[in-house]
Structure 1
């Protein structure tokens, strides 16, 4: 008489996360290589080694897949904690020296920018002709602006801010942006290291008291 193995929800959850990660990885590669409009769900499914129905079951549609891809690319993984609660941000908050705090924050921002800049370029091009995608990106940007308030408080540390928190958040929103990184590294030919050093100086000069 055969004995049924006990149902393992942990194993099922792990498999589901692996499937989701495979789909997101395939989507990233295809969106960056071919653009949003030219990339089909079929191509993403083939790249991930799953059925088309699986992609729809996990994400619903291509637009939602892109939204979640942006979120995961910013954080670097699919854990639920926001970037301001991650180990890197906590290390910034714990650093007593203002200059070093700016340097740590700049390094963290650079790593995020290097991950997310390619997909942001894709979104910018696609949103110009897709009103629903443009609206989705406005919501993403609004959430990012809210996050900048927390970021300003973290980078201020014990020294405080040189301006009010709203202006500090707006300043970080601009200088952290992938578009600024693009202008400096692509248009001016700066290295990633030079961009990071510039960013640290800007944070120290314009945000920290």
Structure 2
């Protein structure tokens, strides 16, 4: 293959990736603002500044919804574990557990601020759309697996009794859930700083210091 042909292929791949990112980002904004069913493909195309055909080529609307949430919450697409993604892997590798927990909470706050509205649209759409329901169920399963790994990380640092990791995972899931973010920030009007402080203190009290994992 010639150098020119390789260069042209690289440029096309880069342009395609940039177009897909614009489409997914635009879809996420509209899903969060208007909801899933009120967002037609032509509106996504207009928001992204691309053709309707380009949006259809990027995938069906249900897959765009899942991709938009993954991109907003985790920073990239894919079914791989959140703990494998670079930003989270760096946090978990932090040797100081107190620093790691603070960074983890900050990550969750920023991620929920980006993705909670899209998650709400997904939850609402799942009641009526089988494809969205399947995508949401798959995401729930991956989340529970991530929470189990997260509780395992707490145990590996000596912060949680290894025999009670399941309860720790459940409590962590409740505290970090998009629903909790939406209740406090969107519905109750809390500033992000207050929500972040609440989340950090709640994890320390209910999972670490308070050790709900001691319950039978």
Normalization by structure 2: what TM-score? 0.82
Where does residue 51 of structure 2 map in the other structure?
51
Residues 148 and 173 of structure 1 are in contact (CA less than 8 Å); yes or no, is this contact kept in structure 2? yes
Residues 22 and 48 of structure 2 are in contact (CA less than 8 Å); yes or no, is this contact kept in structure 1? yes
**Offset at residue 37 of structure 1 (A):** 0.8
Answer with 19-28 or 153-162: which moved more.
Answer: 153-162
Answer with 92-101 or 197-206: which moved more.
Answer: 92-101
Aligned residue runs from structure 1 range 23-102, under 5 A = 23-59=23-59, 61-78=60-77, 82-102=81-101
Residues 102 and 204 of structure 1 are in contact (CA less than 8 Å); yes or no, is this contact kept in structure 2? no
Where does residue 189 of structure 1 map in the other structure?
189
Q: Distance in 2 between matches of 1:33 and 1:158?
A: 40
DSSP 3-state at the match of 1:202: helix
Distance 1:26 1:189, change over 3 A: closer
**Offset at residue 40 of structure 1 (A):** 1.1
Q: Which runs of 5+ in 1 are unaligned?
A: none
Answer with 158-167 or 106-115: which moved more.
Answer: 158-167
**Offset at residue 146 of structure 1 (A):** 1.0
Residues 99 and 204 of structure 1 are in contact (CA less than 8 Å); yes or no, is this contact kept in structure 2? no
Answer with 126-135 or 43-52: which moved more.
Answer: 126-135
Q: Does 1:10 align with 2:41?
A: no
Q: Distance in 2 between matches of 1:119 and 1:4?
A: 42
**Offset at residue 11 of structure 1 (A):** 1.8
Residues 103 and 197 of structure 1 are in contact (CA less than 8 Å); yes or no, is this contact kept in structure 2? no
Distance 1:80 1:36, change over 3 A: closer
Distance 1:35 1:159, change over 3 A: same
Q: CA RMSD in A?
A: 2.6
DSSP 3-state at the match of 2:138: helix
Answer with 178-187 or 17-26: which moved more.
Answer: 178-187
Q: Which has the higher contact order (CA 8 A, sep 6+)?
A: 1
Q: Which runs of 5+ in 2 are unaligned?
A: 212-216
**Offset at residue 207 of structure 1 (A):** 2.9
Residues 125 and 132 of structure 2 are in contact (CA less than 8 Å); yes or no, is this contact kept in structure 1? yes
Q: Distance in 2 between matches of 1:83 and 1:131?
A: 25
Distance 1:57 1:88, change over 3 A: closer
Distance 1:114 1:127, change over 3 A: same
**Offset at residue 179 of structure 1 (A):** 0.3
**Offset at residue 123 of structure 1 (A):** 1.9
